[in-house]
Structure 1
Amino acid sequence: MRVAVCGLGRMGAVFAAALVARGHRVTVWNRTPREVPGARTAGTAAEAAGGAAAVVVMVLDGPAARSVLLGPAGVTAGADRGALVVNATTLDPGTARALAERVTAAGQRYLEAPVLGSVPAARQGTLRVLAGGAAEDVRTAEPLLRAWSHAGALRHVGAVGDASALKLVANLGLGVAATGLRDAVRLAADLGLAREDVLEVLASGPLGGLVGGKRDRLAQGAYAAADFTVAALAKDLALATGAAAGSLPVAEAAARVVGRAAERDGGLDIAALGAAPERAPRA
């Protein structure tokens, strides 16, 4: 299949490379020019989209997605009528629906496909993909989505907006867990506990999924080469709490904690939220 990939951040670049490896004819575009071995590089998103059967968009947030899709040199300006736009960007449901309306009004089809998992899972092809849109469009996109997700990990959850909503629910849970890990590690430091004992016990409890995936980083203090940044989590928590009809006190507290952390450590991996503080002196 002839495919365009617009957005070559950590995740988008992995997506493009996986599609090349699967034998698709791939054209890529990024706001800051980047190359992907085996793919053709376009000068604009419109150029990348021209002639493609499908266009995958993976950018930071709603404003970036709007610009890439709808700008004067954006995807809709260059894509053929009937081309399938697959937007993997994490969005709030309202933005997802608004973009879908604009894309379909321009003559293209629209499928949202946010993913669960970070860069290592993308490289291993073990991401979970949440699809929102028409069943026919999910079937069309499936050969592409399978390039970075394992068998059984593609879930069609409903119409456009539903997959974005479920992604926010999932990342809200991650944010609450990450701030819980932060507090647990700080309490352990205050009580003078050995870090390895703390990580061992936390890995076997309710925080096990997060600690298990981040244990090496937590043990080594290796937070710089981020799989999922503190800033990205702060953005997702803000979207999640903003989408709620009522108060979410735990998530709102988590959003404040992660937001403050992002001001200083936004580019670090979310494991940095569980970094051991200086041990408080014992009374």
Structure 2
Amino acid sequence: MTPATGRPATRIVVAGYGTITAAIIPHLLSLPGAAVGIVSRHLAASPQERAELLRPAELGPFAPDVLIGCFASDDDARSFWEHDQIEAAISTRRPVCIDLSTISPGRAEAWAARTTALGALPVECPVTGSRPGAIAGTLSAFLHEPHPDPRTDLVLGAFVRNRYRFTAPGQPARFKLIYNAWGATILHSLGVFARELPKHLGPDDYPTAVDAITHDGWMSVIASAKLDRIERGDYGDPDFTVGLMLKDLLLARDLIGPGPLVDAAISAFTRACTDHGQRADFTAVADMRDAA
């Protein structure tokens, strides 16, 4: 893309400021010649020094080449993308629109159709990797794009390491919901079984058990990543919240139907929300602090 005189090479706007977007904005700011805006109706000042805070009415004059959204729910995504001033800016500038949200397949399909009708390019792109992956710029993306565009490649290249391409709108959403439900079930199982170790092995042999489960066997991947935090009961400053995982599990059950594993995970995450609050880190579902 050849910049106009005095204009940044790529103008990128991020909406839905939160854990993931806060971590990817520095990567976007590092792109050569990029200008980054954060659109918000609630922030009083830009939370990132080099990013410009925009109100919805200012999106059009900012003239984004790429518009990135990341939202907690279907309703939040709809509220932003279908806002009159946002749609006016999209139809005028026709940017690449990238939605990183985990939402229902129906919402993803409706968004893709509406964005296409506005003349823009919809890129459905739920991501995984939580905050650590966003900070490192190594998120994985489950992607549908109607056709390749250099703007998409430029922006995703700043914070995505792996891209898994799907063939139609809504397919990334379907996969992501099943993927998250599966992962939530595995995380729940860590609490179910890991809490049995100190009960049955006692303090002398528990460290040996931890060494084993964090280095060997299929459970070592999740145990090595999450067990230390669970043992500490450290659920503040979340990488991903129990509330968001519960939302994803409920959407997954809507998609695949009820079953013993998904129902057990929903029950466990519901209890974690009650015990620790919706903003607690999702590892709270495996809390071991009452294990004796």
TM over 0.5: yes
- In the alignment, residue 98 of structure 1 is paired with which amino acid? A
Q: CA RMSD in A?
A: 2.0
What is the deviation of 1:121?
1.2
Residue in 1 aligned with 2:18?
A: 9
Identity score, percent: 26
How far is 1:14 from its partner? 1.4
Aligned equivalents of 2:220 and 2:39: distance in 1? 38
Q: Which of 84, 90, 96 is equivalent to 2:102?
A: 90
Unaligned stretches of 5+ residues in structure 1: none
2:212 is matched with 201
What are the equivalent positions in structure 2 for 1:230-245 lying under 5 Å apart?
Answer: 230-244=242-256
How far, CA to CA, are the matches of 1:82 and 1:94 in structure 2? 23
Q: How many residues align?
A: 274
- Match of 1:26? 36
The one-letter amino acid of 2:111's match is L
Distance 2:259 2:31 in 1: 43
CA distance in 1, matches of 2:226, 2:41: 31
> Structure 1 residue aligned with 2:51, among 10, 33, 39?
39
Report the AA paired with residue 257 of structure 1: A
What amino acid sits opposite 2:38 in the alignment?
V
Match of 1:254 in 2: 265
Please, which of 141, 157, 163 is the counterpart of residue 172 of structure 2? 163
Change (3 A) 1:175 1:87: same
**Letter aligned with residue 103 of structure 1:** T
State the alpha-carbon separation in 2 of the partners of residues 129 and 54 from structure 1: 17
Q: Is the 8 A contact 2:27 2:159 kept in 1?
A: yes
Work out the CA distance in 1 between the residues paired with 2:141 and 2:167.
13
- The answer to whether the 8 A contact 2:181-2:249 is kept is yes
Aligned to 1:113: 125
- Aligned-partner residue type, residue 26 of structure 1: V
Q: Counterparts of 2:272 and 2:230 in 1: how far apart (Å)?
A: 16
Inter-CA distance 20–42: structure 2 relative to 1 (3 Å threshold) = same
Matched, 1:174 2:183: yes
Map of 2:83 onto structure 1:
71
Q: Please tell me whether the aligned partners of residues 71 and 77 of structure 2 are also in contact (alpha carbons under 8 angstroms).
A: yes
Which residue does the alignment assign to 1:213? 225
- Measured at CA, do residues 92 and 196 of structure 1 come closer, stay the same or move farther in structure 2, by a change above 3 Å? farther
Deviations 1:230-278 (A, max 9, x none): 111111111111111x443211221121122113322111222222132
**Structure 2 counterpart of 1:188:** 197
Match of 1:142 among 144, 150, 153: 153
Answer with 1 or 2: which has the greater Rg: 2
Deviations 1:88-118 (A, max 9, x none): 0111211100111222223322111111111
Which residue of the partner structure matches residue 222 of structure 1? 234
Contact 2:231 2:288 in 1 (8 A): no
Find the residue that maps to 2:174 and give its secondary structure. helix
Deviation string 1:137-174 (CA, Å, 9 cap, x unpaired) is: 4x531111111122xx1121222211111111211111
**Contact 2:94–2:118 at 8 Å: present in 1 too?**
no
Q: In the alignment, residue 162 of structure 1 is paired with which amino acid?
A: Q
Counterpart CA distance in 2 for 1:103 and 1:257 is 37
Q: Is this contact kept in 1: 2:239–2:281, CA < 8 A? A: yes
Say if 2:19 and 2:131, in contact at 8 Å, map to a contact too.
yes
